[in-house]
Amino acid sequence: MSEPDLKVRIGPLELKNPVLTASGTFGYGQEFSELIDLNELGGIVVKGLSLKPRAGNPPPRIVETPCGMLNAIGLANIGLENFLKEKLPRLQRLNTAVIVNIYGHSIDEYGAVAAGLKGVEGISAIEVNISCPNVDKGGMTFGTDPDISAQVTEKVLENTDKPVIVKLSPNVTDITVIAKAVEKAGAHAVSLINTLTGMAIDIETRVPKLANISGGLSGPAIRPVAVYMVCQVARSVKIPVIGVGGIMDYRNALEFLMAGASAVQVGTANFVDPRVSIKVIEGLRKFCKDQGITKIEEITGSLKVE
Amino acid sequence: MIEQNTQIIFNKKIAPGTFLMGLRSAEIVIQARPGQFVMIRVGPNTDPLLRRPFSICGTRGDDLFLILYKVVGKGTAIMSNAVKGEKLSVVGPLGRGFELPEPGRKSIFVSGGIGVAPLVFLAQAVKSNLLFIAGYRSANEIVPMEQVGLNLTDISIATDDGTAGHPGFVTELLASHLTESAEGHLKIFTCGPLPMLKRVAALTIERDIPCQVSLEATMACGLGACQGCAVRASKDGNKTYYHVCQDGPVFDVHTIDWESL
Ligand SMILES: Cc1cc2nc3c(=O)[nH]c(=O)nc-3n(C[C@H](O)[C@H](O)[C@H](O)COP(=O)(O)OP(=O)(O)OC[C@H]3O[C@@H](n4cnc5c(N)ncnc54)[C@H](O)[C@@H]3O)c2cc1C
Ligand SMILES: Cc1cc2nc3c(=O)[nH]c(=O)nc-3n(C[C@H](O)[C@H](O)[C@H](O)COP(=O)(O)O)c2cc1C
Ligand code: FES
């Protein structure tokens, strides 16, 4: 049998295969360049970028939990200007999709970061992280309010020439409401899930294990939640869905595709096995071959329910 | 830096709760510098999920590197049960190691507990003109230096409970060597528990003696990608945080904000 076609379309964006690395878990790609061939990836989503550099939270910033980890990095990053100067040139030389994850603390800041990336070559798409606190609204997370999520989406769309993926927060009552709101606002795709808010306590000292008190849970522990949310969202919007959360191998990736995702992102697993995303791609290719699937796109949403 | 499934050549208990593991990798042996570390995946399961960081404790021949570790939790307990012939996935060597002392300068190595590990490797590179001061809680924790491949003439031991060597803290022994006549010619290298490191930092900063410290932090990636291993930088620099896995684990004593630790 001939090689299966692994290409997928995320709205206007075409990926050579459906496997991306998730924001914040893969740095700027270069950190892994000695260990894997970055060009084999479907794409790289870089660390969340803000207008100005951010130092991040005090340590401890991470703690392991059963089959997962909590992180409170505090969106530490080098800021737009340094990103363009120091990190982008290497990314531009790659033959894979480069997606820049952006965030802000006000709607205007989202617009400003998007504007700073406008017209810049070598950036395939913008992923908008709406799981962060809105200083104009007393620190409430943007992504928990459908109207504000829509406003952020519109602001980014006004300021960019690139496809816009909105990354949804799972810390909401009904994720489909937010998904529909950003779809209506014009988002080209949604990705989900970001981390689930959690906490761990040292019982000897009675002190939270993270200096920030709470953090975001990721890793295999959150996978069933993520698969379910992807399934719900895929059934309520028409734009493509990117599945994220606890993927450790190609079987896990297939769950997301079957639930309705057009592509997936691998996050925490990169820490456990820096080569995992390549293994997921190989596993998907073999699965397609074994099952006689010619185009991987056929798997998306192929879930069978009575 | 590589990721490799390395074979366990031996994994033996050398003191209660303390193990020496030999792993086969010619690639890591060639690249390894004293002070660098590796990230070990203790098994194929997802609990514990993350890799564990361990200093490289030395190399033997051209394809064996050593890990000296203490069983403190889930991951190290699993490692202690691993047997010869099994394979462990290792990423490394990682991080910035020690800068070797200039010729003519006397080195004092100060370790606390399992903190001897990176200093053993460094001692093999420095060889002469060095005093090794090793502190332990108690005599039964002492790591026999011959067993880790080190034959030192100048070694002092301190134990907190006085069961061997100097009764008391290793930093008291260090202080006794920091005499005025010696100060201009010394360089200190240290690794161990935080309270000890803070004391060594205070002693050396106060006397303006060059000192390199190997720090620990909780790590997820070990590669500089997750920013999880932050440690606060001293106010003189232009950075707020360093990342222990990439900017360290070995730091010049002056670059760290000791009060934040
Ligand atoms: C750069 C670096 C080099 C290291 N080199 C060595 C070495 O050569 N030999 C060695 O034995 N250990 C070393 N460590 C510490 C080692 O990584 C931890 O002891 C190990 O990760 C514990 O794993 P665990 O699953 O057994 O413990 P866990 O179940 O994760 O934790 C059990 C308990 O161990 C303690 N602990 C966990 N992680 C650390 C840590 N990083 N530092 C101190 N205490 C910890 C905590 O009190 C925790 O409650 C190093 C750490 C770093 C960052
Ligand atoms: C250490 C760490 C840092 C992260 N940083 C970001 C970030 O900057 N922006 C973002 O949108 N998501 C961030 N995430 C969330 C991941 O991209 C991903 O959505 C989440 O971890 C779930 O996937 P996983 O279980 O495969 O890790 C981060 C996750 C981790 C573990
Ligand atoms: S452990 Fe990930 S950046 Fe240091």
The H or E element that residue B205 is part of is: helix B194-207
Q: CATH no. for residue A75?
A: 3.20.20.70
A41 part of a folded domain: yes
Closest CA to A245 of A296, A189, A196, A303: A196
- Residue pair B151/B175 in contact (Cβ under 8 Å)? The answer is no
Ligand in nearest proximity to the CA of B79:
1
Nearest to A26 among B2, B91, B225 (CB): B225
* Ligand 3 within 6 A of CB of B218: no
What average pLDDT is seen over chain B? Answer: 95
Around Cβ A170, how many Cβ atoms within 10 Å? 23
pLDDT in tens, A191-216: 999 999 999 999 999 999 999 999 99
Of B218, B222, B240, the CB nearest to A60: B218
> For residue B126, how far is its CA from the centre of ligand 3 (angstroms)?
29
What would the pLDDT profile of A1-32 be if each residue is shown by its tens digit? Answer: 689 999 999 999 999 999 999 999 999 999 99
Nearest CA among B155, B128, B160, B129 for reference residue B144: B155
The confidence score (pLDDT) of residue B153 equals 81
Mean pLDDT of B8-30: 97
CATH topology of domain B2-94: Elongation Factor Tu (Ef-tu); domain 3 (2.40.30)
Q: What is d(CA A50, CA A80) in angstroms, rounded to the nearest whole number?
A: 6
A222 lines ligand 2 (CB under 6 A): yes
**pLDDT of residue B82 exceeding 70:** yes
Q: Domain locations in chain B?
A: 2-94, 106-214
Provide the percentage of residues in chain A whose pLDDT is more than 90: 96
pLDDT > 90 in chain B, percent:
89
* Whole-number Cα distances in Å, A76 to A49, A58, A188, B226, B238: 9, 10, 27, 10, 15
Q: Determine the structural domain holding residue A193 and report its residue range.
A: 8-298
What is the SS3 assignment for B21? Answer: strand
Tell me how crowded residue A12 is: count the other CB atoms within 10 A of its CB: 12
Q: What is the ipTM of this complex?
A: 0.95
**A253 and A287 Cβ atoms separated by less than 8 Å:** no
Facing residues of A97 across strands?
Answer: A43
Q: What is the CATH number of domain B106-214?
A: 3.40.50.80
**Inside any domain, residue A304:** no
The answer, yes or no, to whether any atom of ligand 3 lies below 6 A from the CB of B249, is: no
The closest residue, in CA terms, to atom 5 on ligand 2 is A24
Which residues 186-205 of A have a C-beta within 8 angstroms of B?
Answer: none
> How far does the centroid of ligand 2 lie from the alpha carbon of residue A23, in Å?
5
The answer to whether A132 is a known catalytic residue is yes
Strands A13-15 and A8-10: antiparallel
Phi-psi sector, A140: left (phi>0), alpha (psi -120 to 50), beta? beta
- Give the model confidence (pLDDT) of B97-154 as tens digits: 999 998 888 999 999 999 999 999 999 999 889 999 999 999 999 999 999 998 888 8
- Domain count within chain A: 1
Protein residues whose CB sits closer than 6 Å to any atom of ligand 1: B 37, 48, 52-55, 68-70, 72-76, 114, 117, 216-219, 249
Closest CA to A299 of A5, A81, A88, A76: A5
Q: Determine the residue of B216, B246, B250, B261 to mutate for testing ligand 1's pocket, defined as the one with the most ligand atoms within 8 A of the Cβ atom.
A: B216
Q: Which residues contact B44 (CB under 8 A, 6 or more apart)?
A: none
Q: How far is the CA of B54 from the centre of ligand 1 (A)?
A: 8
